[in-house]
Structure 1
């Protein structure tokens, strides 16, 4: 594939006059386990601060997912165990942990905005030494340029008996469904199940989550092994990745929208921002049919999508200004039922709800 340009942090909406920072994106595949990586990733361009809005907990569907993850951990560890979440974001998962009172917990994230004193606004360093029964990495490892070295650092920091619970996007799902807009600059790594589990010699369990879009691996942190990963930094060991099938699938999927003159996008997060970016690049005529971008996260509303500068509006804008014959394109199919129910309750017009 040839390199393309993508917004560096699609989950950081911008002001109307703000310029989007974009980075070069080129995928290659590594190892027999099929890890895929953006080999042009520049971590110096990444800055997670208060403008980073990756919280999905406003959705009931996503809350159910987080509870399902929590129950996996609760069933494995006894009451009073020490849980530490590294890269806890806005703290939504730790809110569940806190409210249940089953675990003793800590969290670390430089982008945290709340007032929980057990969550520290910083990254971990080699100077840290922390007791934990389970270290939780939810949607963190895919952002790390050298995942094995990062896990090696955690092995040094945490208790010798600690287990690590890793949740990341499932590349098997992305590849099977050919979802072009699931490739994000800030996600430098894309793990197959085999790639994720290959870093440990002692994996307790692994499985898919969230309708197959995510996956988890629960492993003994001390069983970290570099077998198959020792040549990770050798560029000669990386193979070309065929990106064309994803572009072709995208072009084919948008043809199904030809009958609609007015298109609403539901989801102003990563998928929505990248869908719009590719739509503008590949088919400007289709892009001009977009009449609004809806997101239920109030911290995104009133701001604009990176790269394409469309205003992000609350659902009420859609309810008030949609027309008969409009289509609402839901960026994540997992939310289709939730969105259909919301529109059915609030809109008396003939509006279609679809996902690609």
Structure 2
């Protein structure tokens, strides 16, 4: 689990892992057929908060404004399904939006977040439901969406945000593929499944995410479309190119004296975990601005995560700083010495 860090290097090195065997089903959905739910646990040690970044805060502000466009009045209720730590609920409420959240793993004390699943027994049916970075974690996602719609009496709208598989393949971001994500979506998957029920579609966060708004009244009327026998999505070729790029990146790092990762979330964790041993020894530490990650160790690789100020102070002029996400490049470079050598991945 790429967002669960450990208090000691020994624990991190012994962290459980899972396998990936991606395939495309008859509807075109790409999923991991060897997903193992027994190694996936979401609790208070799971730290996926990206809100410490100004760039990500701007993205959340844009999502808030998008949600407000689909509300009929100030009294309209937004329900954040799978709200995690409740940060998006707080952001919405701070902008004057009537919002509540549901998450069975919630650990806080907000009166606006309920520590439970959103179900037919819930008392918070919304005018707009939001499902941000939840669906990629759920086996049988279409069945799950049927249940979400039923829990809301097949009324209202649903905003979905997920990583974009086409972006991953186009930018050869092999470290965006990991066991915790069961499904990998393209916009065509939603259009085939929901047809005219999709009333809004766009790409967000620099193209990395898909944003979709669905009319829940249409969900129970939809039939899963099946791809034709002669349908060729080019996925096999795209994944082969992604694998070739992975080898190319690690080959380029062999000459580096010292490697420092900036970003200890999903991308950084997977990048370090998959790095060949000879290069992995050159990764001295990672930097992350999320205080909950600092002082901990990344699973599988055992790389320590440092505070920004401490990490930058320890940099040597010859250190190679690997920036895991180009969306954060500008704000990261502003924290680094002017002539610091950097490698920005998948530009």
Q: Normalising to structure 1: TM-score of the pair?
A: 0.88
Tell me if the contact between 2:2 and 2:265 (Cα under 8 Å) persists in the aligned partners.
Answer: yes
Runs of 4+ in structure 1 over 4 Å off: 239-243
Gaps of 5+ in 1: 1-8, 232-238
Contact 1:23 1:41 in 2 (8 A): yes
Shift of 1:126: 4.3
Q: Select between 122-131 and 214-223 the one with higher mean Cα deviation.
A: 122-131
Whether 1:307 aligns to 2:303 is: no
Hey, what's the Cα distance between the residues in 2 that align with 1:266 and 1:294?
5
Alignment of 1:158-169 (within 5 A): 158-169=152-163
Residue 49 of structure 2 corresponds to which residue in structure 1? 55
Q: 2:7 maps to which residue?
A: 15
Among 302, 305, 309, the alignment partner of 1:316 is 309
Q: Structure 2 CA distance, aligned partners of 1:119 and 1:53?
A: 18
| Unmatched segments (≥5 aa) in structure 2 | 228-233
Which string of whole-angstrom CA distances, capped at 9 and with x for unpartnered residues, describes residues 166-219 of structure 1?
000011101111211000111100000011233323111101001110011101
Picking from 255, 263, 271, the partner of 1:267 is: 263
For 2:109 and 2:341, the matched residues in 1 are separated by 41
Task: State the shift of 1:137 in Å.
Answer: 0.1
Contact kept in structure 2, 1:130 and 1:159, CA below 8 Å:
no
Aligned residue for 2:172? 178
Deviations 1:77-129 (A, max 9, x none): 1322110000111112112111111x211101133333211101222344335
Shift of 1:152: 0.9
Q: 2: distance between equivalents of 1:190 and 1:318?
A: 34
Q: Higher mean Cα deviation, 220-229 or 159-168?
A: 220-229
Q: In the alignment, which residue of structure 1 is the partner of 2:247? A: 251
Deviates further, 174-183 or 105-114: 105-114
Q: Distance in 2 between matches of 1:45 and 1:20?
A: 10
Q: Of residues 268, 277, 280 in structure 2, which corresponds to 1:287? A: 280
Larger mean CA deviation between 34-43 and 126-135 belongs to 126-135
Total equivalences in the alignment: 332
Distance 2:24 2:178 in 1: 16
- Further displaced range: 136-145 or 190-199: 190-199
After superposition, residues 62-77 of structure 1 pair within 5 angstroms as 62-77=56-71
What pairs with 1:1-356 in structure 2 (closer than 5 Å)? 9-16=1-8, 17-18=10-11, 19-31=14-26, 34-77=28-71, 78-101=73-96, 103-128=97-122, 130-201=124-195, 202-224=197-219, 225-228=221-224, 243-279=239-275, 283-343=276-336, 347=337, 350-356=339-345
Residues 234-287 of structure 1: per-residue CA shift (max 9 Å, x gap): xxxxx99564432211111233334431111011111000001111xxx22222
- Asked if the contact 1:203–1:219 (Cα under 8 Å) also holds between the matched residues in 2, the reply is yes
Q: Distance in 2 between matches of 1:31 and 1:192?
A: 15
Shift of 1:288: 1.7
Query: In 1, Cα distance between the equivalents of 2:91 and 2:60?
Result: 8
TM-score of the pair, normalised by structure 2: 0.90
DSSP 3-state at the match of 1:83: strand
- Structure 1 Cα separation of the partners of residues 309 and 327 of structure 2: 21
Q: Secondary structure at the match of 2:342?
A: strand
SS in structure 2 at match of 1:198: helix
Question: Aligned pair in 2 of structure 1 residues 46, 163: CA closer, same or farther (>3 Å)?
Answer: same
